[in-house]
Chains A and B, each alone.
Chain A
Amino acid sequence: MMTKDKRNAPAEELISIQVVNAIDCAFPTGSIMGKWFRGLKEKKFYATRCPSCGRTMTPPRGCCALCVVRSEEFVEVGPKGTVENYDIAYYASPDPLTGKVRSTPYAAVFVRMDGSDRDIFTHAIRDEDIPRLKRGVRVRPVWNEVRTGSIEDMLYFEIDA
Chain B
Amino acid sequence: MTKKKNRNVGIIGIGMTEISSHKENQNQPEMINEAVRAAIADAGITLSDIDCVVHGNMELFEMIHQPDLWHMIGTGALGKPGFRITTGGTTGMTLVAAADNLVASGMYDVVMAIGFNKLQEAGSTTGGITNMADPLWYRHLQTGALTSTSANLSIEEFGEARARKAAMKHRIMMDKHASLNERAHRRFGLEYDQMEDLMKNSPPLIGELRLIHMCSQSDGACVMILASEKKAKKICKKPVWIRDHIAVHREETASNAYFPILSETSQRVAARKLFTRNGIDNPVEYFDVFEMYDPSAWWGIEWLRDFFLLEGDEAIKMVEEGDWDLDGKVPVNPSGGVTASNPISATAMLKPAEVALQMRGDAGRHQLKREVRHGLASGFGGVMWTELMILEKDLNW
Please report A residues at the B interface, Cβ cutoff 8 Å. 1-5, 7, 9, 14, 16, 19, 21, 25, 27, 29, 33, 37, 55, 59, 61, 65-66, 84-91, 93-94, 96-97, 108, 110, 118-124, 135, 150-152
Contacts and interface: CB of A to CB of B under 8 A. Distances in A.
B256 A119 contact: yes
A3 B37 contact: yes
B79 interface: no
14 contacts: A1-B14, A1-B42, A61-B253, A65-B251, A66-B261, A85-B259, A87-B147, A91-B211, A93-B127, A93-B143, A120-B255, A135-B156, A151-B136, A151-B140
B149 A110 contact: yes
B1 interface: no
A135 B15 CA distance: 46
Interface stretch (B105-113, B201-209, B239-247): B201-209
Contacts of A150: 137
A27 B143 contact: no
B126 A93 contact: yes
Please list the 4 inter-chain residue pairs (A to B) with the smallest Cβ-Cβ separation, ordered nearest first. A122-B255, A65-B251, A151-B137, A96-B127
A3 B253 contact: no
Interface of B: 14-18, 24-26, 30, 34, 37-38, 41-42, 63, 124, 126-127, 130-131, 135-144, 146-149, 152-153, 156, 182-183, 203-207, 211, 251-256, 258-259, 261-262, 357, 362
Contacts of A96: 124, 126-127, 130-131, 139
A119 B254 CA distance: 11
A37 B261 CA distance: 23
A94 B131 CA distance: 12
Given A1-B14, A122-B138, 9 more contacts: A9-B25, A14-B25, A33-B137, A89-B143, A90-B204, A93-B143, A94-B124, A123-B141, A151-B137
Contacts of B140: 97, 151-152
Given A1-B15, A5-B26, A122-B141, A27 B149 contact: no
B250 to A, nearest CB: 9
A2 to B, nearest CB: 6
Contacts of B152: 85-86, 135
Nearest to B209: A87
Contacts of A87: 143, 146-149, 206-207
A2 B255 contact: no
Nearest to B152: A85
A91 B357 CA distance: 37
A152 B253 CA distance: 18
Contacts of A27: 135-136
A84 B259 contact: yes
Contacts of B25: 5, 7, 9, 14
Contact of A120 (B16, B34, B63, B256): B256
Contacts of B251: 65-66
B200 to A, nearest CB: 14
Contacts of B42: 1
A54 to B, nearest CB: 13
B252 to A, nearest CB: 8
Q: Which residue, of B24, B135, B207, B258, has the highest number of chain A Cβ atoms within 10 A?
A: B207
A90 to B, nearest CB: 4
Contacts of A135: 152, 156
Contact of B362 (A1, A14, A25): A1
Contacts of A118: 259, 261
A19 B211 CA distance: 28
Contacts of A1: 14-16, 38, 42, 357, 362
